[in-house]
Amino acid sequence: MRLSRLVATAAFSIALTAIPVPSARAASMHALPHHARQGLTIRDGRFYLNGKPFQIISGEMHYERIPRAYWKARLKMAKAMGLNTIATYVFWNIHEPYPGKYNFSGNADLARFIRDAQQEGLKVLLRAGPYSCAEWEFGGFPAWLMKNPQMRNALRSDDPAFMQPVQQWIMRLGKEVAPLQIGNGGPIIAVQIENEYGDFGASQAYMNRLHRIFIMAGFTQSLLYTVNPSHALKNGHGQIPGVYAGVNFAPGNAKAAFGELEAIRPGQPLFATEFWTGWFNHWGMPYTTKPIGPQISDLNYILRHGNSVNLYMFTGGTNFGMMSGASWMNHRYEPDITSYDYGAPLDEAGHPTPSYYQFRSVIAAWLGHPLPPVPAPPPAESIPTFPLTQAASLWNGLPKPIHSRNPHPMSWYGQNYGFILYRTTLHHSVHGMLMLPDLNDYAMVYVNGKLAGALNRTCNQNQILLHSSASNNRIDVLVENDGRINSTRMMRSASKGVDGTVTIADKPIYGWDVYTMPMAPDTIADPPAMPREAHFTSYSSLAHAISSPAFYRGTFSVHKIDNQVPDTFLDIHDLGKGAVWINGRPIGRYWNIGPQDTLYVPGPWLHAGKNQIVVFDLYAHHRMPRLRGFNNPILNGPATPACAMPTKPESAATRHHAAH
């Protein structure tokens, strides 16, 4: 999923790896031998599952974006809406956070998610990558890839620098989930290779190499396919034996999109591989929605013409921790908000929306039989206002520095996400423009501990005027990674921090201490991690000395509802810019420019009784911060363009919030 999907149609190819056919058209025009009728096959312009006609009615749900404790509840909601299949991306960076170190436990237990889907009577479309997009950090690629300087040109190509880690990863993924394919008795009916590659490149060698790797990894008992926009078909990467094509489109385009597909690939089953039920959102930009009318009209059209569909998204979920991605829009970097609610039929917290019931009505009418009753959604509860009574200045809890002649990106120091601090001391007065080369993404600049101002990549800012007549001057540059770009060739600019020779008044500054501060686990899987750098004391004893940035800590209480700890939505509109942890769990980023004014806090991650919260804020709080929880989210609050914000955010109170 990416911004370029505003183009109405897309196509994808399926290599029928278990069925040796010369072309997809041949597969559709000739009956298959008996031994090839198991699994998902193509014949006479239709899908067949184990020899019987099968219409895919699927919805997208990403296990990484939903707490494991809620997987089954979300899947039951899918079944109750009439879906027979679930599609999910596999985000490589969740499963291999460091080279050769794999994680398939906790919230990363992919095999468990697939088995849960099977227990609910759902088939699975496994969108295996290695590239996903999905508005996820770096499109699902692990950040450590970029530590190799060759990767800037090797990414998504058949260059060995990229293909070696890809092959190692896909082989490991195959060990985990290839046994769960339909030919082995599992629910996986199709496995996707790559994603929308034609928007990025045109290497047939790359796609063929990926195809061979998937076969080597054991993905031979289900269909293999790869999604690609129709305008990129000329790149020719889908010319693998057994080619199959489908379409991705926005509401209101079903007839035209399928008509274009039929003209390009006659005789094929028509499959809306992504039918967009909503859209994603960026910090500082108005909240985006899609009208329900065209969605219902198109869904009726798709089903009544016997075509297949995958709703993107059925339920969006949350970019927990620091895993939200970013877009390159109008030649500008735009980071995504933490919520991935997406305006989907099932909202971020698993509650059915009006569109859920309208989709359900359409599907039930088409199927002609009653659907399972809609389960009760998880409870949500308000939390009274509570203070953050403890604080810790970042300056007083820094880790051990790394000495460097010039600043380098996070990846050079083995860091993937979070914040990084570059510090140098000049033994002379300072008068001139500080220039930070290749700044990504948001920097707070200090002279002798006093804030000089903020620089924002979105606004193409990388310089700031410094002035100090002191004979010794400590220069601090604190940089936040706001999320790597997840699509287009701008993905190759994935370095975070500062890279190169820094100058003041055109004179190079050498000799830096570098402090890495990931401040969060590199995955959302268990076990969670707390920021270890902070040394807390009472807020009142530090209030006179607190200048941004700082940690704040407090506690709040939650009571069970019907023997279940409820969800809540943390009100963040009085905070500045930073991140939140609750009971050690990284909940996500926040920014007071909107439109997201609450962070989703899942009940399974809370305790009945006392809970601990830690906030790291780049902006100063000259009064004790106070937070609260709502029983409903606020995702469409006022939005202030990032470049309209003050360049010197002295405090968190920089935006009037009309909703409160």
Residue 492 placed within a domain: yes
Give the pLDDT band (50/70/90) at residue 582: very high
User: For the chain, how many structural domains are there in total?
Assistant: 3
Task: Please pick, among 120, 196, 348, 381, the residue that the annotation labels catalytic.
Answer: 196
Classify residue 405 by burial, with Cβ atoms within 10 Å: 0-12, 13-18, 19+: exposed
658 in any annotated domain = no
Strand ranges (DSSP E) for 231-288?
247-249, 271-276
Q: Is 297 helix (H, G, I), strand (E, B) or coil?
A: helix
* pLDDT above 80 (res 415): yes
**Is the peptide bond between 527 and the residue preceding it cis, with omega within 30 degrees of 0?**
yes
CA distances from 436 to 303, 463, 498, 508, 644 (A): 55, 6, 7, 11, 21
Section 197-217 average pLDDT? 89
Q: Is the pLDDT score of 290 beyond 50?
A: yes
Q: For residue 655, is pLDDT > 80?
A: no
Same domain, 443 and 498: yes
Q: What is the pLDDT of residue 35?
A: 39
**Candidate from 394-398, 509-513, 601-605 with smallest mean pLDDT:** 394-398
Is the pLDDT at 17 greater than 50, yes or no? no
**N- to C-terminal Cα separation, the chain:** 34
**pTM greater than 0.95 (yes/no):** no
pLDDT level of residue 543 (50, 70, 90 thresholds): low
Q: Which of 165, 163, 4 is nearest to 489 (CA)?
A: 4
Is there a cis peptide before residue 130, judged by omega within 30 degrees of 0? yes
Instruction: Examine the domain organization and report whether 74 and 207 are in the same domain.
Output: yes
In this structure, what token pair is assigned to residue 1?
A: 């999923």
- pLDDT grade, residue 530 (50/70/90)? very low
Verify that 175 and 40 share a domain, yes or no: yes
Task: Kindly state whether residues 66 and 17 are assigned to the same domain.
Answer: yes
Query: 345-378: per-residue pLDDT in tens?
Result: 999 999 999 999 999 999 999 999 999 999 999 9
Which strand (E) or helix (H) includes residue 24? Answer: helix 24-29
Tokens standing for 479? 């940089």
Boundary of a domain, candidates 452, 486, 517: 517
- pLDDT tier for residue 90 given thresholds of 50, 70 and 90: very high
Task: Print the domain residue range for 67.
Answer: 3-367
Q: What is the pLDDT of residue 31?
A: 33
Higher pLDDT: 496 or 17? It is 496
Q: What is the CATH number of the domain that holds 430?
A: 2.60.120.260
Task: Determine the pLDDT at residue 92.
Answer: 98
3-state secondary structure at position 196: coil
Cα–Cα distance between 117 and 600 in angstroms, integer? Answer: 24
In a domain, residue 527? The reply is: no
What phi and psi, each to the nearest 5 degrees, are found at residue 113? -60, -45
Active-site option among 64, 135, 194, 274:
274
Write out the H or E segment, with its range, that includes residue 254.
helix 254-264
Domain membership flag for residue 376: no
Residues 301 and 158 in one domain: yes
Which residues are CB-neighbours of 616 under 8 A, at least 6 positions away? 394, 519, 531, 549, 550, 551, 552, 578, 579, 580
Q: If you average pLDDT over residues 180-203, what whole number do you get?
A: 91
Written as six digits, the tokens of 493 are 């600019």
User: Max Cα separation, the chain?
Assistant: 86
So what's the pLDDT on residue 228? 64
Vertex 17: Cα angle to 12 and 22 (nearest 5): 80
Evaluate whether 432 touches 470 at the Cβ level (below 8 Å): no
> Mean of the per-residue pLDDT values for the chain?
88
Using the predicted structure, report yes or no on whether residue 522 has a pLDDT greater than 80: no
Structure tokens at 191: 């496995």
Residue 307: what pLDDT?
Answer: 96
The strand pairing partners of 392, in sequence order, are 551
Torsion of CA 539, 473, 414, 106, to 10 degrees: 10
Could you give the CA distance from residue 140 to residue 195 in angstroms, rounded to a whole number? Answer: 11
Q: 654 in a domain, yes or no?
A: no
C-alpha closest to that of 229 among 8, 15, 23, 485: 8
Provide the pairing of β-strand 585-591 with 598-601.
unpaired
334 pLDDT higher than 80: yes
> Is residue 238 domain-resident?
yes
For the residues 45-60, what does the mean pLDDT come to?
96
What's the CATH number where 86 sits? 3.20.20.80
Q: Closest Cα partner for 68 from 35, 40, 107?
A: 107
Query: What integer pLDDT is reported at residue 301 of this predicted model?
Result: 97
Q: Do 571 and 512 share a structural domain?
A: no
Query: What's phi and psi for 296, nearest 5 deg?
Result: -65, -40
The span from the CA of 426 to the CA of 498, in Å, is 19
> Which position has the token pair 């399928």?
258
Confidence at residue 18, expressed as pLDDT on a 0 to 100 scale: 36
Is residue 456's pLDDT more than 50? yes
What pairing do the DSSP bridges indicate for beta strands 502-504 and 430-435? antiparallel
Q: Is 274 a catalytic residue?
A: yes
Burial 521-554, CB ≥16 within 10 A → b, else e: bbbbbeebbbbebbeeeebeebeeebbbbbbbbb
Q: Token pair of 11, please?
A: 């196509």
Report whether 216 contacts 183 (CB < 8 A). no
- In whole angstroms, give the CA distance from residue 233 to residue 17: 21
Predicted pLDDT of residue 458: 96
Higher pLDDT, 657 or 148: 148
Indicate whether 183 and 229 sit together in one domain. yes
Above 80 in pLDDT, residue 297? Answer: yes
- 388 and 406 housed in the same domain: no
Cβ count within 10 A of residue 656: 8
State residue 407 phi and psi, 5-degree precision: -65, 145
Domain contains 649: no
According to the model, what pLDDT value does residue 242 have?
60
Residue 202 located in a structural domain: yes
pLDDT value for 247 = 76
Q: Which of 487, 624, 465, 418 is nearest to 134 (CA)?
A: 487
Same domain for 541 and 510: no
Q: Are residues 92 and 166 in the same domain?
A: yes
Rounded Cα–Cα distance for residues 414 and 402 (Å): 11
Amino acid at residue number 465: L
pLDDT, average across residues 59-80: 98
208's CB contacts (< 8 A; 6+ apart) are: 240
What whole-number distance in Å separates Cα of residue 103 and Cα of residue 97? Answer: 8
My answer on whether 567 and 501 are in the same domain is no
Task: State whether 135 and 180 are in the same domain.
Answer: yes
